[in-house]
A = this chain, B = another copy of it.
């Protein structure tokens, strides 16, 4: 479409839509009003409002993990971007293509250091690339460039758009094609080298899977490699997206705590890293090395941005492996009257999972036990918190539901982390997102109590106790969710959870279940 009367904001939206952007997770302010108006003037981009920016960025991350295409956010100046940075950090660690559009003061107003002025570019640079629109004429080209950045790097890019350039009218240049997300191939030489290392190491090899090696095809190929060479399979501890269940091999996650992670890797003569980052300890603990592999044992098959799935398929063919017959394992279901614990919750959720569900997991209390139980579940997709900035699970579930309206989404969520971005519930309600939120309500930052113990403070004082407790007052999750437009109920026993979850799946979300642990 060529028009001689498009505002800069309209040309930006037009360029984004032309490059395949379909959804914009937005929390705009005054300096983004031309962009808000443009979303109605130019077709193709659906706006979804978040009440706080970290909801928008986390939802964009979840959306892009499911669609494989860049999601867009619209944020208000430096403070709006700052509010969304934590989930952009997680998106960066997830290698998610994501484009932020951040408004700025009218360009000629910037030198006057008005109250809302701040260093937007410095903030954005901490999570990815930054481009600033210097004149209205370049707005389409720069927008396409930012989307290309996100797809090429598998990362976060930010476009800063001063308000005057949004308002300025000019002819729309003809659309130009943009590049879809395409992963770089690994090359046969590397695959052959890895095959040799695997054959040498035999059962003293580990394949550590991440990136797009955790597709169904990738995991099946990894299963063939394992059955042929004797290698052990691990998924990275916090995969951005992993298929699971439905007959896939039971690939456990590399343990979180470094002693167990070290035990899993240190005896291996070859640790073949395939789409994952190098395995290092999550935190540095005295007496435990940062690097979890022995010197010389780390072998790189594919970088996170490379095509790990294709490399695994080639590797499986090379080592001459047949597809192993999947072991069908029944899901263990706990006793109806049993209390809810991490383990029983994990088992119930695995047993009740609807086919094709997406499960957004945040928090260890139920997250680890669920992963243990879910190998035997129906086919589903798991999304986890890749960067450790908590408050990611609910927004990610929201974005996934918007990306895949035909798939039920379960947010298996610890209470402490849920409270960082609790505003996500409101957007779930507004968008009628099919998300069932399961809150593991133990009213404690439990991992911090463990960590206090690790620092030699197993008996901690009143201030440490208060700083790691969410009791006093107890958050009433049912009331809180209702206040934000999401119906909810509370369960305390296995049978209650099973019934509530089954009913919620049948009725569709959004719905919240407070699980008293």
Stretch of A62-70, A464-472, A496-504 contacting B (4+ beta carbons < 8 Å): A464-472
- Which A75-122 residues sit within 8 Å CB-CB of chain B? 78-80, 82-83, 85-86, 89, 93, 105-106, 108-109, 111-116, 118-119, 122
Q: For the complex, give the distance between the alpha carbons of A389 and B454 in Å.
A: 38
Q: Is A37 an interface residue (CB 8 A)?
A: yes
> Is A109 touching B283 in the complex (CB atoms < 8 A)?
yes
> Is A448 touching B39 in the complex (CB atoms < 8 A)?
no
User: Out of B29, B33, B423, B479, which one reaches A455, CB within 8 Å?
Assistant: B33
> Is B30 touching A447 in the complex (CB atoms < 8 A)?
yes
User: Out of B163, B164, B388, which one reaches A116, CB within 8 Å?
Assistant: B388
> Is B479 touching A30 in the complex (CB atoms < 8 A)?
no
- Chain B residues whose C-beta falls within 8 Å of the C-beta of A472 in the assembled complex: 430
- Which A120-166 residues sit within 8 Å CB-CB of chain B? 122-123, 125-127, 163-164
A–B Cβ pairs within 8 angstroms, 24 of them:
A30-B283, A33-B452, A39-B464, A39-B467, A47-B463, A49-B466, A51-B416, A52-B419, A52-B420, A78-B126, A79-B86, A79-B388, A105-B284, A106-B284, A108-B290, A112-B291, A114-B282, A122-B122, A123-B123, A430-B473, A473-B484, A473-B485, A479-B482, A480-B480
A: interface residue count bin: 35 or more
Interfacial residues, chain A to chain B (CB-CB below 8 A): 26, 28-31, 33-34, 36-37, 39-41, 46-47, 49, 51-52, 54, 78-80, 82-83, 85-86, 89, 93, 105-106, 108-109, 111-116, 118-119, 122-123, 125-127, 163-164, 167, 238, 277-278, 280-286, 290-291, 386-391, 416, 419-420, 422-423, 426, 429-430, 447-448, 451-452, 454-455, 457, 460-464, 466-468, 470, 472-485
Task: Give the residue name and chain of the B residue nearest to A93 (CB).
Answer: B115
- Chain B residues whose C-beta falls within 8 Å of the C-beta of A448 in the assembled complex: 28-30, 33, 36
Q: For the complex, give the distance between the alpha carbons of A122 and B391 in Å.
A: 22
Q: For the complex, give the distance between the alpha carbons of A283 and B167 in Å.
A: 14
Q: For the complex, give the distance between the alpha carbons of A34 and B451 in Å.
A: 10
Q: For the complex, give the distance between the alpha carbons of A381 and B33 in Å.
A: 34
Given A105-B284, A114-B290, 15 new contacts (CB under 8 A): A36-B452, A40-B460, A46-B463, A51-B420, A79-B387, A79-B389, A93-B115, A106-B286, A108-B284, A109-B281, A114-B281, A115-B387, A115-B388, A420-B423, A479-B479
User: Out of B29, B79, B238, which one reaches A85, CB within 8 Å?
Assistant: B79
Copies in the complex: 2
Task: Give the residue name and chain of the B residue nearest to A477 (CB).
Answer: B483
- Chain B residues whose C-beta falls within 8 Å of the C-beta of A163 in the assembled complex: 283-284
| A162 shortest CB reach to chain B, Å | 9
Task: Give the residue name and chain of the B residue nearest to A51 (CB).
Answer: B419
- Chain B residues whose C-beta falls within 8 Å of the C-beta of A86 in the assembled complex: 79-80, 82-83
> 5 closest A-B pairs (Cβ-Cβ)?
A109-B284, A40-B461, A473-B485, A480-B483, A106-B284
Q: For the complex, give the distance between the alpha carbons of A78 and B125 in Å.
A: 13
> Is B28 touching A467 in the complex (CB atoms < 8 A)?
yes
| A508 shortest CB reach to chain B, Å | 16
